């Protein structure tokens, strides 16, 4: 049985409002969070245990990048873990096709169950190592959250990006050393500061693409 997280509805709705997202999204997002809390007790999917802490550090942090993801038709979430940021983005953006790439069996099982219980027709789960994943078609965007450095992410998953595609990487402080270490043809196109409701830590979205001149 999923835990009762009704006391988190008001702070979640406040956070959604701060991110210019519909308050009605609180219901499916809390359903996802309750499922994560229940499975986490048995399978250790995330080190964060407190649902209120998960609200800011998982849900709202993931949703802070939604304005940049929603402009893309599809997105692959690399090393998705318990579905972050992919599942919150899919819930908030029904028109976005999301593929959750996760090699860990227990995490992939959770992802499939979450997709089933939440009725997310715009999500599929790929139980695969990132570098071995060969989808039928490349993606308009890939994303990663707390996975690796920018060069490492692209070494693992750069082959998944379509021409003109973007890596949307969630970072804390601006990763100047990682940016400087990007190999050709990759270059940073933009660095977007993010404001996450309930989170004082600095957050940035680093947008990386191929340089046409160096491709």
For residue 49, pLDDT over 90 is answered with: no
| pLDDT score for 56 | 93
Check if the beta carbon of residue 166 is closer than 8 Å to that of residue 141.
yes
pLDDT tens-place string over residues 153-164: 999 999 999 999
Instruction: Give ∠ CA 42-47-53 in degrees, rounded to 5.
Output: 105
Average pLDDT score, the chain: 94
pLDDT per residue as tens digits for the range 68-82: 999 999 999 999 999
Q: What is the pLDDT of residues 124-160, one digit of tens each?
A: 999 999 999 999 999 999 999 877 899 999 999 999 9
Instruction: Give the side-chain half-sphere CA count within 13 A for 193.
Output: 5
Non-local (6+) Cβ contacts of 32 within 8 A are: 59, 83, 87, 88, 91, 114, 118
Whether the bond between 85 and the residue before it is cis, its omega within 30 degrees of 0, is: yes
Kindly list the structural domains of the chain, giving each domain's residue range(s) and its CATH number in brackets, ordered by start: 6-210 (3.40.50.150)
The residue written with tokens 């043809």 in the block is 185
């Amino acid at each position: 049985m999923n835990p009762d997280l009704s006391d988190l509805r008001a702070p979640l709705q406040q956070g959604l409002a701060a991110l210019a997202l519909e308050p009605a999204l609180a219901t499916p997002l809390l359903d996802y969070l309750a499922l994560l809390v229940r499975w986490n007790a048995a399978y250790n999917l995330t080190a964060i245990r407190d649902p209120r802490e998960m609200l800011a550090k998982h849900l709202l942090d993931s949703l802070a990048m939604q304005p940049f993801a929603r402009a893309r038709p599809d997105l692959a979430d690399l090393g998705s873990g318990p579905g972050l940021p992919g599942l919150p983005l899919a819930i908030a953006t029904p028109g976005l096709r999301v593929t959750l790439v996760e090699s860990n069996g227990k995490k992939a099982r959770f992802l499939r169950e979450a997709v089933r219980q939440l009725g997310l027709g715009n999500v599929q789960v790929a139980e695969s190592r990132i570098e071995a994943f060969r989808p039928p078609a490349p993606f308009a965007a890939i994303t990663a959250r707390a996975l690796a450095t920018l060069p490492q992410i692209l070494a693992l998953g750069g082959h998944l990006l379509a021409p003109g595609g973007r890596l949307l990487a969630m970072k804390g402080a601006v990763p100047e050393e990682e940016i400087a270490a990007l190999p050709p043809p990759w270059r940073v196109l933009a660095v977007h500061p993010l404001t996450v409701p309930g989170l004082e830590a600095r957050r940035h979205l680093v947008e990386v693409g191929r340089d046409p001149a160096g491709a």
